[in-house]
Amino acid sequence: MTTGTARIEARFAKLRDEGRAALVTYIMSGDPDLETSAKIIAGLPGAGADIIELGMAFTDPMADGPSIQVAGLRALKAGITLRKTLAMAAEFRRQDSETPIVLMGYYNPIHAFGVPEFLAAAKASGIDGLIIVDLPPEEDEELCLPALEAGLSFIRLATPTTDDNRLPAVLANTSGFVYYVSYAGITGAASADADTVATSVARIQKHTDLPVAVGFGIRTPDQARGIASVADGVVVGTAFIDALRDSLDDTGAATAATVDAVLDRTRDLAAGVAGAKRDGKS
């Protein structure tokens, strides 16, 4: 059975054969409560998610906009911890051995867990990769190198400020895929522009053979279609979080509509991604 980086590579290989880009869905683990969150995660692959990014809630998410900030607070209030997030991933993994799961968040909860203990637990829970916003290549010895050693992907963010001189450093220990951040800013704050993104993706592809997924500012099926025609993956986060939020009742609790709100949005975006023209990429 393929796990870790190999599971991510197998997924991108399969999509390449199908001639389409990946839909990477970000949701906050434990939002709005642990049970609903588990149901959403279980339903994501069936709704068209190719890779699941599971947000690890943190009290001080410095790179996130209001939607994801509040989602993290809802999850924390519902009692989420890193340990419970791993348990949720493990439960998912018992049903699905092919869909990669990537944890995304900030370093301190992992630091508090202990890096060796965390990596062992993450592997045992079927986690395949990590995206840690506040660990640039300058801090690779903290977690990136030990994660690679453990067979997990360390997926780096490249941004509009990452110039050609810096790209090699950013890509050096990246594996699985590269996550291109479409604009300088926080999540959910602006819109990705497909033409600008196309140029940036081409620039990154000159430096690496890894798939390039693009995130930040992709909310609609149309935008997803546009980005999917120029990149290997489309990452959507805030749009799901907003759909989830809009389904909650006045007290912030899940309703009968919550799971479907997220999964319907997933289906819409998957259709957008599937509708992309991928010149010379199939």
Partner 1 sequence: MSKLNSYRTGPDAAGRFGIHGGRFAAETLMPLILDLEKAYRAAQADPSFREELDYYLRHYAGRPSPLYFAERLTEHFGGAKIYFKRDELNHTGSHKINNCLGQILLAKRMGKTRIIAETGAGQHGVASATVSALFGLPCTVYMGEVDVERQQPNVFRMKLLGAEVEPVSSGSRTLKDALNEAMRDWVTNVADTFYIIGTVAGPHPYPELVRDFQSVIGDEAKAQILEAEGRLPDTLVACIGGGSNAMGLFHPFLDDADVKIIGVEAAGDGIETGRHAASITGGRPGVLHGNRTYLLQDEDGQITEAHSISAGLDYPGIGPEHAWLNDVDRVEYTAATDAEALDAFQLCSKLEGIIPALEPSHALAHVAKIAPDLPRDHIIVMNMCGRGDKDIFTVAQMLGVEI
The one catalytic residue in 9, 31, 50, 53 is 53
**Helix residue ranges per DSSP H, the chain:** 5-18, 34-47, 66-77, 82-95, 108-113, 115-124, 144-149, 167-172, 194-205, 221-228, 238-247, 258-274
Contact residues: partner 1, CB under 8 A: 57-63, 65-66, 69, 76, 81-83, 106-113, 133-136, 138-139, 156-163, 166, 170, 181, 184-186, 189
Q: Determine whether 128 is an active site residue.
A: no
With b for 16 or more beta-carbon neighbours within 10 A and e for fewer, the 263-274 pattern comes to bebbebbbebbb
Contact 88, 29 (CB under 8 A): yes
> Residue 40 or 135: which CB sits closer to partner 1?
135
Q: Determine whether 64 is an active site residue.
A: yes
CB of 1 to partner 1, least distance (A): 30
CB of 73 to partner 1, least distance (A): 8
Helix (H, G, I), strand (E, B), or coil: what is residue 88? helix
Give CA–CA dist 46/135, Å, rounded.
32
- Give the full edge-to-edge strand order of the sheet including 157-158: 153-154, 129-132, 101-105, 51-55, 22-28, 233-236, 212-215, 178-181, 157-158
- C-alpha angle 68-197-223 in degrees, rounded to nearest 5: 60
> Residue 3 or 108: which CB sits closer to partner 1?
108
CB of 15 to partner 1, least distance (A): 25
CB of 63 to partner 1, least distance (A): 5
Nearest to 104 by CA among 45, 161, 64: 64
> Residue 6 or 183: which CB sits closer to partner 1?
183
| Bridge partners (DSSP) listed for residue 254 | none
Give CA–CA dist 14/25, Å, rounded.
18
Contact 201, 178 (CB under 8 A): no
The one catalytic residue in 31, 33, 50, 64 is 64
Q: Find the farthest-apart pair of alpha carbons in the chain and give their distance in angstroms, rounded.
A: 51
> Residue 112 or 256: which CB sits closer to partner 1?
112
CB of 234 to partner 1, least distance (A): 19
> Residue 10 or 70: which CB sits closer to partner 1?
70
Residues labelled catalytic: 53, 64
